[in-house]
Amino acid sequence: MKKRIVIGLTIFSLIFFLGGIYIVITIEKATSTLDNLIKLHQVEILREQLLIDVKRVQSDLAFKHTHYARELDTVVANVIQMGKESNKCLGCHHSEQVMDKIKDLINQIHIYKDALSRVLTIRANIKRLEAEEDMAYQVGQELINRLNTMTSLTKAKLEQKTQSSLKEIAEMKILLFILIALGPLLAIGLAIFFIKGFTQPLNILLHATRKLKSGDLSFRIQGLKDEFGEVGASFNEMAGSLKEQMLKMQRAEQMTTFGQMAAGLVHEIKNPLAGIKAAIELMAEEIALSAENKDILSKVISEIRRIEALMKSLLDFARPPKPQFMQVNLNHILEGTLNFLIHQPSFSQSKKEPIAIIQNLDVHLPEIVADPQQLRQIFINLLLNAHEAMAHEGTVTVKTSLDSSDMIEVSFSDAGKGMNKDIIEKIFQPFFTTKPKGTGLGLAISKQLIEQHGGTISAENNPDGGATFRIKIPIAQPERIPG
Question: For the chain, which residues make up each domain, given as ranges?
Answer: 2-191, 231-319, 323-480
DSSP SS3 for 394: coil
Domain 231-319 has CATH 1.10.287: yes
The per-residue pLDDT for 482 is 44
- Cα 264 to chain centroid distance, Å, stands at 59
Q: Which helix (H) or strand (E) holds 469?
A: strand 467-474
Determine the Cα–Cα distance for residues 371 and 315; give it in Å rounded to an integer.
19
The pLDDT of residue 470: 92
Q: Which residue has the higher pLDDT, 242 or 258?
A: 242
Give strand ranges (E) for 339-432: 356-360, 368-370, 395-402, 407-413
**Mean pLDDT within 262-267:** 67
pTM above 0.85, yes or no: no
pLDDT tens by residue, 407-421: 899 999 988 888 888
Burial track 194-219 (b if 16+ CB lie within 10 A, e otherwise): beebeeebeebbeebeebbeeeebeb
Candidates 422, 315, 337; CA nearest to 381 is: 337
Q: What architecture is the 2-191 domain classified under in CATH?
A: Up-down Bundle (1.20)
In this structure, which topology does domain 323-480 adopt according to CATH?
A: Heat Shock Protein 90 (3.30.565)
- pLDDT of amino acid 319: 65
**Gyration radius (Cα) of the chain, Å:** 58
DSSP character string of 52-109: HHHHHHHHHHHHHHTT----HHHHHHHHHHHHHHHHHGGGS---HHHHHHHHHHHHHH
CB 475 within 8 A of CB 368: yes
**Cβ atoms of residues 454 and 472 within 8 Å:** no
Residues, the chain: 483
Instruction: Please list, in sequence order, all residues whose beta carbon lies within 8 angstroms of the beta carbon of residue 22, skipping any fewer than 6 positions away.
Output: 179
Summarised one tens digit per residue, pLDDT across range 125-151 is: 666 767 777 777 777 777 777 777 777
Q: Tell me if residue 433 falls in helix, strand or coil.
A: coil
Q: Report pLDDT digits (tens) over 179-218.
A: 778 777 877 877 787 777 778 878 888 888 888 888 787 8
Q: What is the pLDDT of residues 277-313, one digit of tens each?
A: 777 777 777 666 777 777 787 888 878 877 777 777 6
C-beta neighbour count of 480 within 10 angstroms:
17
Helix (H/G/I), strand (E/B), else coil: 324: coil
pLDDT at 410: 92
Rounded to whole angstroms, how far apart are CA atoms 403 and 248? 27
Q: What is the pLDDT of residues 381-390, one digit of tens each?
A: 888 888 888 7
Give the DSSP H or E segment for 479.
none
What percent of the chain clears pLDDT 90, i.e. is strictly above it? 5
Indicate the pLDDT class of residue 471, thresholds 50, 70 and 90: very high
Which residue type occupies 215?
G
Query: Which pLDDT does position 483 carry in this prediction?
Result: 36
**Confidence class for position 172, pLDDT limits 50, 70, 90:** confident
Tens of pLDDT along 213-257? 887 878 888 877 777 778 888 888 888 888 878 877 776 676 666
- Given CA atoms 312, 314, 318, 323 in this order, what sign does their dihedral have? positive
* Exposed / middle / buried, residue 38 (Cβ in 10 Å: 0-12, 13-18, 19+): exposed
Give the relative orientation of helices 2-65 and 96-121 as an angle to the nearest 10 degrees: 20
Mean pLDDT of 26-45: 75
Q: What is the SS3 string spanning 185-237?
A: HHHHHHHHHHHHHHHHHHHHHHHHHHHHHCCCCCCCCCCCCHHHHHHHHHHHH
